[in-house]
Amino acid sequence: MNKIKLSLILLSVAAVFASCEDREPLSWNTEIFLPLVDDNITWSSSIPDSLLEFGEGGEPARMLYKIPFGEFSADYLPTLPDTLIEENMSMEGNLPSDVPVPLGDLFVNETDEIVFSSFGEGSEAYLKELTLSAGNMKLSVESSVEGILDMAYYLNSVTVDGVMSGIELAVPAAQDGVNGFATETIDLAGAIFNLSGENGLSENVMTSTFTTTGSALNTEVFYLTTTDSMLVEIELIDLTIETAKGYFGQVEIPFDSEGTLIDTITIPNPVLDLEGASAKLTIDNYIGADLRLKFDEVSMDDQLLEHPSLFGVHDVARAYWNDETLINHTSLELDLGETGSNIFDLIETFPSDLAMFGSVQLNPFGDVSLGHDYINNAYPPKLELELEIPLKLGLDGVVLEEVYIIDPMDFPKFDGRLLVDLTSTFPVEVIADIDYVVNDEDGTIVSISGNIDAGSAYPEVSQHGLLVIPLNEETVSPGGSVYVSLTASTEGAVTFTGYENVRVQIRIEGTQLIEVD
């Protein structure tokens, strides 16, 4: 009986193994629905957001350009020439005989005035106070005295952080016929120069003090002989004025300003409707001195601007400063679009460059402030062109382009499609061209095109287009790039509010075959 049971079990096991060998592999289809991209293409693809002001209630958007044409050259500032003060202190004829110099005794103590006679050729400027943003003072001494000298040179009317500016140095003793020599340089950045003299009523004058003492470093008393001499040189080098008070003269400075005008907009073959456009030139004066501007030539892409009043003389009043604090600046606006100007004819060509040539004169009416002009180099006069152009234009060509990356996917035996769903509110018919470039060895390209009817941003009316690209395992597995190009063509100018957009949705749909052995 047991043998029969064992035989039955063996037969059952054999049957199981036999059934496994004969079974077909399991397989089934799986539906794939995979969103890849949901993007919104707007005017920012062609016009920087900073330039576009949206239109409300169906009004056209406005392109706003504020184009600084540089600050006027700092040549309007008075300049301090490099100054060399040289003095040869010879004892010959000044000493009846050799005299001992006790250690620590002061034997030279001189106070002098330094007069700045010019602050720019023909400027007739005079200054009462100034501060420096840069500059150096250098003291060099060569001495034949056979003793160590402590020397000091101070600019009495110059301070840095409230401390008088000066140089102290020890000049070595002359030895064996070789003169002692020492030099030192200090930084004058931030220095405040009081140029009103000791009486406080002068201008262009500062005082200095030079002292010489027998140094305590000497081990014994030395002698000052009748043949000794000391050559002292003080150099004021590369002095750059940051602020100044006084009278800056009647200085006339040429200016040559060039700038980029409209290079940020990528609209194909644009035709502008400039009704409602405006153009103005603004001069902002931050100097405590009157300005007079004269424009000799203005051009756009080498085409000359014609204007009935721009090329005359324009006076700009001085800015108001109080205790080195700017209370308010002054401005002058010049309407470049007034009757008789051709500026809008020039703008219609979408010029890329603007050039201005002319001159600016300081204090055209003379010293009317009685020495109370004020300049801070951190606040130069500025020149700015402002254009306001309605986004009402015709176009013809590619208006928007985007690229979307599709990552590699593991979809065995995939059979499906790539769907590009486009929704547009642009008020013109849009032609969509889609290229799917596969990341395979051949760079396979699958292309399709379609039209989207004209929509509207106000009132909002969306138009829809669906473009379908067939896919299989070979084209979906490597991944690739989807290039979306939108082309539009108008008949004449069309009003755009700035709210127009094209929504791009990309997804993959299909099936994959899954097999299990």
Average predicted confidence (pLDDT) for the chain: 87
Contacts of 91 (CB under 8 A, 6+ apart): 224, 225, 226, 227, 228, 229
Statement: residue 354 has pLDDT above 60: yes
| CA 297 – CA 279 distance, rounded (Å) | 17
pLDDT tens-digit readout, 397-432 = 988 888 999 999 988 889 999 999 999 999 999 999
The string of pLDDT tens digits covering residues 209-219 is 999 999 999 98
pLDDT at residue 12 in the model: 40
Percent of the chain with pLDDT over 70: 91
Work out the pLDDT band at 297, boundaries 50, 70, 90: very high
Q: In angstroms, rounded to a whole number, what is the distance separating the alpha carbons of residues 431 and 200?
A: 79
Question: In the predicted model, what is the mean pLDDT of residues 50-79?
Answer: 79
pLDDT for res 121: 55
- Count CB-CB contacts under 10 A for residue 343: 23
Question: How confident is the model over 113-131, as pLDDT tens digits?
Answer: 888 766 655 567 888 999 9
pLDDT tens digits for range 230-284: 999 999 999 888 999 999 888 888 888 888 876 666 788 888 899 999 999 999 9
Sign of the torsion formed by the C-alpha atoms of 126, 131, 133 and 134: positive
Give me the residues paired with residue 342 across strands.
Answer: none
Helix (H, G, I), strand (E, B) or coil at 361: strand
φ, ψ for residue 450, nearest 5 deg: -165, 165
Nearest to 495 by CA among 411, 405, 417, 391: 391
Give the mean model confidence (pLDDT) for residues 291-318: 95
Distance CA 167, CA 233 (A): 12
Residues of the chain above pLDDT 90, percent:
60
Structure tokens at 386: 């402002």
Strand residues in 102-221 grouped as ranges (E): 106-115, 126-143, 149-160, 163-171, 180-187, 192-194, 205-214
Secondary structure E strands in 215-286: 222-224, 229-247, 252-260, 271-272, 278-285
Q: What is the DSSP letter of 305?
A: P
Cis peptide before 459 (omega within 30 of 0): yes
Contact 76, 390 (CB under 8 A): no
Distance CA 371, CA 125 (A): 9
The reported pLDDT for the residue numbered 20 is 47
The model's pLDDT over 424-475, given as tens digits with 9 standing for 90+, comes to 999 999 999 999 999 999 999 999 999 999 999 999 999 999 999 999 999 9
Partner residues linked to 246 by β-bridges: 127, 373
Query: Are the beta carbons of 209 and 201 closer than 8 angstroms?
Result: no
Instruction: Provide the pLDDT for residue 141.
Output: 95
The owner of tokens 């690209």 is 469
Q: By mean pLDDT, which of 4-18, 233-247, 362-376 is the weakest?
A: 4-18
Q: Is the dihedral of CA 219, 224, 228, 229 positive or negative?
A: positive
User: Which H or E element spans position 53?
Assistant: strand 52-53
- Tokens at 227, concatenated: 């043949």
Two structure tokens written together for 35: 């969103």
Q: Are 433 and 447 in contact (CB under 8 A)?
A: yes
pLDDT beyond 60 at 22: no
Going by C-beta distance under 8 Å and a sequence separation of 6 or more, which residues neighbour residue 78? 119, 120, 123, 125, 127, 130, 241, 244, 246, 248, 249, 375
Q: Where are the alpha helices (DSSP H) in 310-378?
A: 343-347
96 falls in which pLDDT band (50, 70, 90)? confident
Average pLDDT over residues 305-324: 95
Whether 216 and 102 have beta carbons less than 8 Å apart is answered as: no
